[in-house]
């Protein structure tokens, strides 16, 4: 499968880090420098964009709305899809997408186990990561204010979608929504990382951090985890979200080094009718700047809603957020990776979500979001991405 991996080079604050591998050590190797993480995305495999659109129209995949516009950044015409009804149609409709949360226990080659199904008294105040995820603003409704405008009492992804298309959807009052509902937590699954395909290390933060090979893991997702979800009521018309706990990825994993680390999450789409899915780390380790608990998950869920196939093209943008070079697709989290939205306390837990870039930041002024000078959902971007990246 051809993958587009962002050109960001992952650096440490100072020097390189040595990861544990079975050939080198049986214990996690301590480090003192903070790691820097990034996100990636898949491109369609086994299906064309035209087949995806036909499938959405025939309701054989998740509902998708089509948009077409001329970008003010380069005067070219672009077409893409978002999950749910198109916000440009001024329609009054709530779209519900059945969602399956799948916690995955990861066994590392050195024997370390990372388990979101066990209460963590060391790094999470005795709370259960899977329960904290389920009770979060990603799946429960909260009153959200974005750029001083109340966008509704709803889930974070829906609140963001409403905010970034506010000029279009606000005319319907409170009747335009795209919800992850119903949400079902399936039985925890287990992934045993093959020898030389993962390692464990500590960084002076809380607990340990696991790193595993991206392709090895993603093959397991598509060959084993997706069929598991399908057998339990899922399928192409649903959204499976695979939740890891303090486990990230390297593409590829190189034993004994920190090369290509660390991917915190991604979303992907494959097969016909197209099956979309997301993968994210729940972080309590504190190894990454601007990342905490569900922030990586909020990044991936929102990118899936806005670009479920990973190939909504935009004028090239870059040299910002995690992107040191240029990128040309509609990934709302990437320009603000590591920038957090104001925290939300819900169910006795303080949640951290990532700030996100609006549709108009990618395609150009004027903004159709919450205010003509707002291009992200917490005031960081006050103009569009500017000249086409070179």
Confidence at residue 11, expressed as pLDDT on a 0 to 100 scale:
31
Tokens of 275: 């099956």
- Distances in Å between the Cα of 352 and the Cα atoms of 289, 341, 356 are 12, 7, 13
Q: Give the C-alpha separation, 291 to 36, whole Å.
A: 10
Report the chain (390 residues): mean pLDDT per 10 consecutive residues. Answer: 34 33 47 74 89 92 95 97 91 90 97 97 96 98 98 98 96 94 98 96 84 97 98 98 97 85 96 97 94 98 97 97 97 98 97 98 97 95 98
pLDDT of the residue at 33: 54
φ, ψ dihedrals at 344, nearest 5°: -130, 130
Contact 334, 327 (CB under 8 A): yes
The CA distance from 77 to 258, in Å, is 41
Boundaries of domain holding 215 = 3-363
Dihedral angle computed from the Cα positions of residues 308, 314, 320 and 326, in that order, rounded to the nearest 10 degrees: 110
283-305 burial, b at 16+ Cβ within 10 Å, e below that, comes to bbbbbbeebbbbbbbbbbbbbbb
Which DSSP string corresponds to 203-262?
-SSSS-EEEEEHHHHHHHIIIIIHHHHHHTT-STTSEEEEEEESEEEETT--TTS-TTEE
Cβ-based neighbour number of residue 263 at 10 Å: 24
Residue 380 within a domain: no
149-154/142-146 β-pairing: antiparallel
DSSP 253-275: --TTS-TTEEEEEEEEEETTTTE
- Is residue 242 within 8 A of residue 221, CB to CB? The reply is yes
Number of neighbouring beta carbons within 10 Å of residue 139: 22
- Judge contact between 223 and 179, C-beta under 8 A: no
pLDDT of residue 18: 34
User: Does a structural domain hold residue 60?
Assistant: yes
Q: Residue 31: what pLDDT?
A: 54
Closest by Cα among 209, 351, 230, 235 to 287: 209
Contact 388, 73 (CB under 8 A): yes
Q: Is residue 370 assigned to a domain?
A: no
Question: Does any domain span residue 163?
Answer: yes
Tell me what pLDDT residue 4 has.
38
Residue 387 burial (C-beta neighbours within 10 Å; 0-12, 13-18, 19+): exposed
Report the run of H or E that residue 97 belongs to, with start and end: strand 94-107
- Given a contact cutoff of 8 angstroms between Cβ atoms, the answer to whether 105 and 131 are in contact is no
| Nearest Cα to Cα of residue 352 among 287, 280, 296 | 296
Q: Quick check: is 384 in a domain?
A: no
Measured CA distances, 186 to 134, 183, 203, 222, 276 (Å):
11, 10, 32, 17, 17
Nearest residue to 235 via CA among 28, 44, 384, 59 = 59
- For residue 50, being part of any structural domain is answered with yes
Residues with Cβ within 8 Å of residue 28, at least 6 apart in sequence: 20, 110, 112, 200, 201, 202, 208
Number of domains in the chain: 1
């Amino acid at each position: 499968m051809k993958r587009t991996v962002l050109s960001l080079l992952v650096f440490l604050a100072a020097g390189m880090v040595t990861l544990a591998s079975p050939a080198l050590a049986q214990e996690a190797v301590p480090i003192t420098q903070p790691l820097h993480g990034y996100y990636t995305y898949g491109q369609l495999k086994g299906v064309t964009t035209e087949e995806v659109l036909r499938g959405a129209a025939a309701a054989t995949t998740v509902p998708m709305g089509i948009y077409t516009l001329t970008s003010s950044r380069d005067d070219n015409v672009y077409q893409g899809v978002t999950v749910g009804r198109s916000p440009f149609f001024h329609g009054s409709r709530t779209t519900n997408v059945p969602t399956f949360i799948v916690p995955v226990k990861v066994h590392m080659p050195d024997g370390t186990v990372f388990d979101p199904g066990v209460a963590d008294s060391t790094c999470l105040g005795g709370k259960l990561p899977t329960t904290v995820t389920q009770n979060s603003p990603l799946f429960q409704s909260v009153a959200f204010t974005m750029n001083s405008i109340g966008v509704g009492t709803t889930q974070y992804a829906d609140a963001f979608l409403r905010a970034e298309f506010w000029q279009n959807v606000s005319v319907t009052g409170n009747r335009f929504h795209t919800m992850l509902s119903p949400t079902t937590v399936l039985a925890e699954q287990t992934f045993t990382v093959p020898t030389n395909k993962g390692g464990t290390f500590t960084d002076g933060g809380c607990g340990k951090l696991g790193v595993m090979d991206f392709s090895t893991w993603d093959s397991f997702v598509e060959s084993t985890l997706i069929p598991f979800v399908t057998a339990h009521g899922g399928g192409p018309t649903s959204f499976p979200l695979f939740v890891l706990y303090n486990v990230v990825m390297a593409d590829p994993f190189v034993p004994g080094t920190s090369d290509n680390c660390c991917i915190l999450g991604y979303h992907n789409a494959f097969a016909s009718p197209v099956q979309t899915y997301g993968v994210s780390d729940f972080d309590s380790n504190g190894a990454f700047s601007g990342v905490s608990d569900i922030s990586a998950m909020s990044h991936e869920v929102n990118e899936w809603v806005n670009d479920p196939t990973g190939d909504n093209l935009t004028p090239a943008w870059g040299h910002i957020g995690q992107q040191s070079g240029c990128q040309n697709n509609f990934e709302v989290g990437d320009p603000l990776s590591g920038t957090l939205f104001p925290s939300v306390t819900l169910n006795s837990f303080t949640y951290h979500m990532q700030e996100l870039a609006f549709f108009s930041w990618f395609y150009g002024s004027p903004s159709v979001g919450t205010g003509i000078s707002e291009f992200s959902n917490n005031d960081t971007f006050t103009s569009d991405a500017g000249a086409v990246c070179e």
